[in-house]
Chain A
Amino acid sequence: MQKYFATFLFLFTSQILLSQNVSGFIYNEKNKPLKNVLVFLENDGSSVFSDKSGFFEIETKEFQEITLVFFMEGFAEFRKVVSFKDFAQVDNVLLKSLNLEIDEVNVVAKRKTMFGYTKIKSIDGTTIYSTKKAEIVDLETINANVANNSSRQIFSKVSGLNIWESDCSGLQLGVGSRGLSPARTSNFNVRQNGYDISADAIGYPDAYYAPPMQALKSIEVVKGAASLQYGTQFGGLINFKFKEAPKDKNLQWDLSLTGGSNKYFNVYNSFSGTIKKFSYFTYFQYRRGDCWRCNSGFEYYSAFANMKYQFSEKFSMQLEYTFLSYLAQQAGGLTDALFEQDARQSIRDRNWFKIYWNLLNLKFEYKFSNKTRLEAFALGQLSGRDASGFLGKISRTDPLDETELLKDKYENFIFETKLLHKYKIKERPMVFLVGARFMQGTTSKMQGATNNASKASFEYLNPERLEGSDFSFPNRNFALFTENIFTVTEKLSFTFGARLEYLSQKAEGYYTNTTYDFAGNVLQDTTINESKNFNRIFPFFGGGASYKFNDNLEIYTNISQNYRAVGYNDLRIVNPNLVVDSNLQDERGFNFDFGVKGNTKNELVFFDANVFVLKYNNRIGTYFTSVPDPVLINRVVRYRTNISSALSYGLEMFVQADIYRLLAKKKENAPVSLSVYANLSLIEAKYLDSKQSAFFNKNIEDVPPFTLRTGVDFQWKKLRLGTQFSYTHKHFSDATNAEFSADAIVGIIPSYYTIDFNASYEWKMLRLQLALNNLTNNKYFTRRADGYPGPGILPSDAFNFNITLSAKLADLWKKRAK
C-alpha cells in the first residue's frame, strides 16, 4: 500500500514540477471581456479558448519565456511574450477590433433596366409569393403615362387583364382578370401599402378610390391564390405601394406639372425625407380636365401623409392619412347608331358624380429577430359616393324632370395582423405565417329623387322619406389564416394555407313602393320596412408546389379556394316583386395555376407562362319564379339566389427580352437598353349551368377571348422611349350573348386596339415626359353599362397627349445653400 502511495506522490509532484498554468483576462477596447478568443501557445502549439468572463488558462512545461498569440474574428491578432514570473497572472490583454476605412465607392455600371418588370422573390416582408402567380409593376422604370393614370399602359406587363377605359384620366380604375368583370376592380382585393382601400371590403368592394400613380413606387398583383392571406375576391390582390422617404435626405421636394389635351392640368407636389429616426412622405395632387367627351369634366384633389418613427432596429410605427375628393360630370352613354355617327357627342348633360375618401391607418412593425417579424395595422375609413343624374334608356331624350340621386356612405374599422417566422427542420428552411383580421363597419345606401336642373345637386327633395330606398348595412368580419412554406429539397418546396372566415351582414331599412296607373298617376304610396340577417362561418384551403431547377427556371402550381361575399346590392330590396333567398350563399369556387417562369442565364430574356382554371360555383343572379299568394294564387316574382355555375380557363403568357444585349454580345455594360415584350392571354369562359335558362351554356360576359399587349422600350443614358400596342378581341357584354339591342345596354363590344408612345428625358434635376395616347386616333369602346355611368355604350378617348415637367427641387436648394 505504501509503495503505491509513494509512487503516486512522486508522479504527482513531478507533474507539478513539470507544468505550470498560465492565466489571465482578455478585454476589448471598451473594456468588455471577450469570450471565445483563441489563445495559442506558440512554444508547443497547444491552445485554449477564453470563457465568457474573458478568462483563459493554459498549461505549459516551459520554465522561461513563452509566447502567446491571441486570435479573434474581427480583431487584430495580438502576440504577447510572457516571462515565467508572470505565468500565474498575465497582464490584462487588450485586443483591438479590425475596422478598415474605405473611401466612398461609386457604382459605375448601371443595373439594366427592366422597364417596369420585376422578378419576384418568394417572400417579401410578411407576404408569401412562393408558388403563386404574382407580378410586380415597377413604376420607377416603366414607360407609361403615369401623370394621367393610364391603366392600359401601367398594367401592360401584367398578364391576363381586361381593362375598362371609360373615365377620363383614370378616375375610376376598372381592371379584371381571368374572365372576371372589371367593374370598379371589384373582383380584386384592392389595397394600398397592405391595407384595404375599397368602399367596403366585404359587401361593396368597389375601388372608387385608387391612389394617383405618380405617388407610387410599385404595384403588386397576385392572382387567385392570394385568397388565403387576403380573403375575399376571386381575382386576387392588387396592392399599391407608395414611394418611400429617401433615407439620405432631410427634405426632398418633388414638383411635377402636367398639361395636356382637353385642358388637362395636373400639379403634383411632394415633400419627403428622413431626420434621424423620423421619416415622412407626403404629397398633394390637384388635377382637372374637360375630358374628351362633351358634357364631361372633373376636378380632383388628393393628399397623403405618411409619418414613420423607427423607435429601434426592431420596432417602428407609421401613421398614414389619405384624402381624396373629386367632382366629375359624366357624359352618359350612346346607342350604337349615335356612336357610329359621332363618338364624342353626349345626350345627357345632367349626370354628376362626386366622391370623398378618408383613410387613417396606423401600422406597427416589430422584428423579433431576423427570423421572426410581426406586422399589424389599424385602419379607419370615412368615405362616400354621390351619383346624381338621369338614368333612363339612352334611346329616350331627357324629360328634364326629376333625376335619381344615389348617396352612399362607407364607415368601417379594420384591424389586421400577421406574424411571419422562419425556422429550419433538418437544415431545410421553412416559413410559417399566421394572421388574424377583424373588420366592423356600416355601409349605407340611399336612393331617391333630386332635381339637377343645370347644376349638380346632391340634396334629396324629400330626405325624410326617399322615393327609392334607404338602407343601412352593418357588417362584421373576423378571419384567421395561416400559410406555410415547406422546403423538401433545395429545389422543391410546397405551400399550404388555410383560412377561417366569419361574416355577419345585416340589411335594415325601407323602400317606398309606389304604384301607378297606366298614365303614371300615383295610385298608392307605401313605405315597406325590410330587415335581413346573414351570418356564416366557413373554412377554405389552398396549396401549391414549386420546383426550382436552378436560380433561373422554376415551375409552379397552386390551387386555392376563393369566395366572394354576398354584396349589399344583393341584400337590398327596392321592389315588392323581388324576393331574396333567405338562404343566399356567398359565391364560392377555386383558382388553379400551373406555370413555368424564369429567365435565361444571362438575364436577358424573362418569361412567365401559365395555364389557369377559375371555377365559380354559385354566382348570384335573379330569375323569375312564382310563389303562392293568398289573393293572387300564384305571384310571379324575381327571385335572387345563387343561380349559375361558371368556368373560365386559359393561358397567360409574358416574355421580355433585351434584344440589344442579345445581339451585341460584347456591349454588356453599355448604357443602352432595347427591350421587347409581349403579354398575351387566351381565355375561354362559359356558364356551365344556370337556373336562368337564358344563360345556359353561354359565354360569360365581358371576357375577351384574346388580348395582346406588346411593345418596345428603349433607353440610352438619360433618354427613355417606349411604344405599346394593345389589342382586345371582340366579346359579349351580357350573359345571354346578345349581338345587338336597340337601347345599346347589351351587345357585342367590337375588337379594338390602341397604340401609345411615351418619352422621357432627364437633365440634372429636371425630367421632361411626353405621352401620346391612341396615336392612330381609333374610335372604340371597352364597355356597355345598364345604369351608371351610362346606360349604353361608353366611348373611350380619341388621340390625346400630355407633357410633364418634374423637378427635384430640394437638390437645387441644397446646392444654393453651399
Chain B
Amino acid sequence: MKNILYFLFGLVLVFACKPNSNSKNYETAEMLKNVAENIVLPNYTALETNTNTLNNTVQDLRFSPDAANLVAAQNAFLEAYKSWQKVSVFQFGPAADVALNTINIFPTDTTQIHSNIAASSYNLDAASNIDASGFPALDYLLFSGTESEILIRFSTAADSEYALAVSEQIKNKVSQVKSLWETSYKTTFLAATGNAVGSSLSELTNAMILNFEKNAREAKIGIPAGVRTLNQIVPDKVEAFYSKNSILLAKEHIAGFKELYEGKNGDSFKAILIAVDKETLANNMSSHILNIETSLNLLSDPFNEMLENDNTAALATYAEYQKLLPLLKVDMTAALGLLITYSDSDGD
C-alpha cells in the first residue's frame, strides 16, 4: 500500500513540477540576418578597404621614406585601427579559426620586434610573435621616436621589411576572414538558429561579452589604470601607446559595441530582449552604454600621461564598464537562455 502511495506521489511530483518560466521562446532569424548583413559584413568590408590602404601606404613609405608618405601611412594606420575596433566586437567563426584577434595584442614586445628584425628570418604566425606583430607592432614602428628617427627606421632595409611583413599579415588575415564570411559562413551563420552552445546567437554573445570584458574593460582601461596591480598604474600597457590614440580607439570600440547591441536599424540584442518581456533590462543596458560613452569623454589622449597625473577619472570609467558587465553576463544571458562558454574549466 505504501508503495502505491509512493508511486502516485512520484507521479504527482513529475507532473506538478511545472517548469519555471524563466525564459520565453524567441525567434533569432531576424536578428541574425540583420547582424550579418548590416553590421558584420559592412564592417569587415570597411576594415578590408582600410587595411589595404594601410598596406599600400606602408609599401610607399618603404620605397620612398619621406615626411609626406609617413603622414599618409600614419593616417591610414589610424583609420584601419578605428575600423578594427568595430570588428573586434564579433570575434567568432572564421575570425576565431584564423585567430584574427592576434592582430591586436598589446602591449607590443619591442625587444622581440628588434630581435626578429636582427634575425631577418621570422614567422609572424608563430605563438611567440603574437605580441610582435599586428597593429601594436605597426604602432611602434610608425610612431615611436621623432619624425627623423622614424624616417631613418624606414630607410633601413630590415626594419622597413619587417613593417611591411606586419602590415601584409594584417591585410591577409582580414581578407581571409571577410572572404569566408562572404562565401560560406554567412549561410552557416543564418542556419544555426536557437540558443544552444554552438548556435550563432551563442557564439556571437560569447564573443561580444568576452571582448567587452577582456579587451575593453580590462585591456583598454582597467589594467593601465592599476585595477589589477593593487592600484599601481601601468600606463605603458595602454592601447596605441605610441600613436597616442587610446581613448579615441576606446570610443570607436564602444560605438561598435553599441551598434551591435542596439541593432543599427534592425533587430539585435535589444530587440530580442524586448521580445522576451525584458524591456526594463534592455533600456537599462542602453543607458549604461550611454554612461560609458559620457565617462570616456572625460578621459583624454595621451591616456598614459593622463594616468600618470591622476587615475581617478579612469577608475570611474572602469566602474561604468563594470556596472554594465553583470547586466550582460548575468541578466541578459539568463533572459535569453545562453551559456557563457569562455570561462576556465576546473580540471577533470
Q: 23 A-B contacts, Cβ less than 8 Å apart?
A: A387-B348, A517-B223, A517-B228, A518-B214, A518-B215, A518-B237, A519-B131, A523-B223, A523-B228, A523-B229, A543-B2, A572-B347, A624-B340, A632-B319, A632-B322, A634-B322, A689-B17, A693-B334, A693-B335, A736-B195, A736-B339, A787-B345, A788-B348
Residue of B nearest to A640 (CB): B346
Q: Assess whether B330 is in contact with A636, with CB atoms less than 8 Å apart.
A: yes
A789 → chain B, closest Cβ, in Å? 9
If A569-B346, A572-B346 touch, whether A647 touches B195 (CB-CB below 8 Å) is no
User: B201-231: which have CB < 8 Å to A?
Assistant: 202-203, 214-215, 218-219, 223, 228-230
Mark interface residues in B1-14 (1 if CB within 8 Å of A CB, else 0). 01100110010011
B226 → chain A, closest Cβ, in Å? 10
Interface flag for A290 (CB, 8 Å): no
Q: Assess whether B322 is in contact with A574, with CB atoms less than 8 Å apart.
A: no
- 20 additional contacts, CB 8 Å, given A524-B229, A633-B322, A739-B198? A395-B96, A395-B97, A399-B127, A401-B127, A517-B234, A518-B105, A518-B237, A523-B223, A578-B346, A624-B330, A634-B325, A636-B329, A647-B14, A688-B17, A692-B339, A693-B336, A739-B194, A740-B198, A742-B97, A746-B197
Mark interface residues in A618-635 (1 if CB within 8 Å of B CB, else 0). 000001111000001110
Q: Assess whether B195 is in contact with A519, with CB atoms less than 8 Å apart.
A: no
If A592-B10, A689-B19, A741-B198 touch, whether A787 touches B330 (CB-CB below 8 Å) is no
Mark interface residues in B125-136 (1 if CB within 8 Å of A CB, else 0). 001001100000
Residue of B nearest to A526 (CB): B230
Q: Assess whether B106 is in contact with A742, with CB atoms less than 8 Å apart.
A: no
Q: How far, in whole Å, are A384 and B72 apart by their CA atoms in the complex?
A: 64
Interface flag for B186 (CB, 8 Å): no
Interface flag for A557 (CB, 8 Å): yes
B6 → chain A, closest Cβ, in Å? 5
A235 → chain B, closest Cβ, in Å? 18
Q: Which residues of B contact A557 (CB under 8 A)?
A: 3, 7
User: B18-33: which have CB < 8 Å to A?
Assistant: 19-20, 22-23
If A693-B335, A738-B196 touch, whether A615 touches B347 (CB-CB below 8 Å) is no
Q: Assess whether A742 is in contact with B198, with CB atoms less than 8 Å apart.
A: yes
B216 → chain A, closest Cβ, in Å? 11
Interface flag for A254 (CB, 8 Å): no
Q: How far, in whole Å, are A746 and B194 apart by their CA atoms in the complex?
A: 15
Q: How far, in whole Å, are A523 and B222 apart by their CA atoms in the complex?
A: 12
If A518-B105, A613-B10, A625-B330 touch, whether A693 touches B196 (CB-CB below 8 Å) is no
Q: Which residues of B contact A395 (CB under 8 A)?
A: 96-97
User: B80-114: which have CB < 8 Å to A?
Assistant: 93, 96-97, 105-109
Q: Assess whether A594 is in contact with B7, with CB atoms less than 8 Å apart.
A: yes
Q: Of B108, B131, B223, which one neighbours A520 at CB under 8 angstroms?
A: B131
Interface flag for B299 (CB, 8 Å): no
User: A706-765: which have CB < 8 Å to B?
Assistant: 734, 736-742, 746-747
Q: Of A447, A519, A624, A693, which one neighbours B130 at CB under 8 angstroms?
A: A519
Q: Which residues of B contact A649 (CB under 8 A)?
A: 14
B278 → chain A, closest Cβ, in Å? 12
Q: Which residues of B contact A399 (CB under 8 A)?
A: 127
Residue of B nearest to A645 (CB): B17
Q: How far, in whole Å, are A520 and B344 apart by their CA atoms in the complex?
A: 15
If A574-B347, A636-B329 touch, whether A647 touches B131 (CB-CB below 8 Å) is no
B155 → chain A, closest Cβ, in Å? 29
Residue of A nearest to B335 (CB): A693
A32 → chain B, closest Cβ, in Å? 53
Q: Which residues of B contact A694 (CB under 8 A)?
A: 195-197, 333, 337-339
Residue of B nearest to A393 (CB): B96
Interface flag for A559 (CB, 8 Å): yes
Interface flag for B309 (CB, 8 Å): no
Interface flag for A46 (CB, 8 Å): no
If A447-B347, A519-B107 touch, whether A613 touches B14 (CB-CB below 8 Å) is yes
Interface flag for B323 (CB, 8 Å): yes
Residue of A nearest to B223 (CB): A517
Q: Assess whether A688 is in contact with B323, with CB atoms less than 8 Å apart.
A: no
User: Number of residues in A with C-beta < 8 Å to the partner?
Assistant: 66
Q: Assess whether B346 is in contact with A524, with CB atoms less than 8 Å apart.
A: no
B228 → chain A, closest Cβ, in Å? 5
Q: Of B127, B230, B335, B348, which one neighbours A787 at CB under 8 angstroms?
A: B348
Q: Assess whether B340 is in contact with A544, with CB atoms less than 8 Å apart.
A: no
Mark interface residues in B304-348 (1 if CB within 8 Å of A CB, else 0). 000000000000000100110110011001111111100111111
Q: How far, in whole Å, are A577 and B344 apart by their CA atoms in the complex?
A: 10
Interface flag for B192 (CB, 8 Å): yes
Interface flag for B300 (CB, 8 Å): no
Q: How far, in whole Å, are A649 and B17 apart by their CA atoms in the complex?
A: 15
Q: Assess whether B3 is in contact with A559, with CB atoms less than 8 Å apart.
A: yes
Q: Which residues of B contact A623 (CB under 8 A)?
A: 334
Q: How far, in whole Å, are A740 and B202 apart by their CA atoms in the complex?
A: 11
A170 → chain B, closest Cβ, in Å? 19
Q: Assess whether A633 is in contact with B20, with CB atoms less than 8 Å apart.
A: no
User: A531-553: which have CB < 8 Å to B?
Assistant: 543-545
Q: Which of A572, A615, A624, A649 has the most CB of B within 10 A?
A: A624
Q: Which residues of B contact A698 (CB under 8 A)?
A: 196
Q: Which residues of B contact A558 (CB under 8 A)?
A: 3
If A590-B10, A633-B323, A693-B23 touch, whether A738 touches B237 (CB-CB below 8 Å) is no
If A519-B131, A557-B3 touch, whether A736 touches B345 (CB-CB below 8 Å) is no
Q: Which 3 A-B pairs have the closest CB atoms?
A: A741-B198, A518-B219, A738-B197
Interface flag for A345 (CB, 8 Å): no
Q: How far, in whole Å, are A634 and B325 apart by their CA atoms in the complex?
A: 9
Q: Which residues of A contact B2 (CB under 8 A)?
A: 543
If A543-B2, A636-B326, A693-B22 touch, whether A741 touches B10 (CB-CB below 8 Å) is no
Q: Assess whether B319 is in contact with A524, with CB atoms less than 8 Å apart.
A: no
Q: Assess whether B319 is in contact with A734, with CB atoms less than 8 Å apart.
A: no
Q: How far, in whole Å, are A520 and B14 apart by their CA atoms in the complex?
A: 50
Q: Which residues of B contact A406 (CB under 8 A)?
A: 347-348
Interface flag for A786 (CB, 8 Å): yes
Residue of B nearest to A787 (CB): B348
User: B28-47: which have CB < 8 Å to A?
Assistant: none
Q: How far, in whole Å, are A519 and B237 apart by their CA atoms in the complex?
A: 9
B233 → chain A, closest Cβ, in Å? 12
Q: How far, in whole Å, are A736 and B339 apart by their CA atoms in the complex?
A: 8
User: A255-294: which have CB < 8 Å to B?
Assistant: none
User: A388-411: which have CB < 8 Å to B?
Assistant: 395, 399, 401, 406
Interface flag for B291 (CB, 8 Å): no
Q: Which residues of B contact A633 (CB under 8 A)?
A: 319, 322-323
Q: Of A387, A517, A632, A747, which one neighbours B219 at CB under 8 angstroms?
A: A517
Q: Which residues of A contact B245 (CB under 8 A)?
A: none
A630 → chain B, closest Cβ, in Å? 12
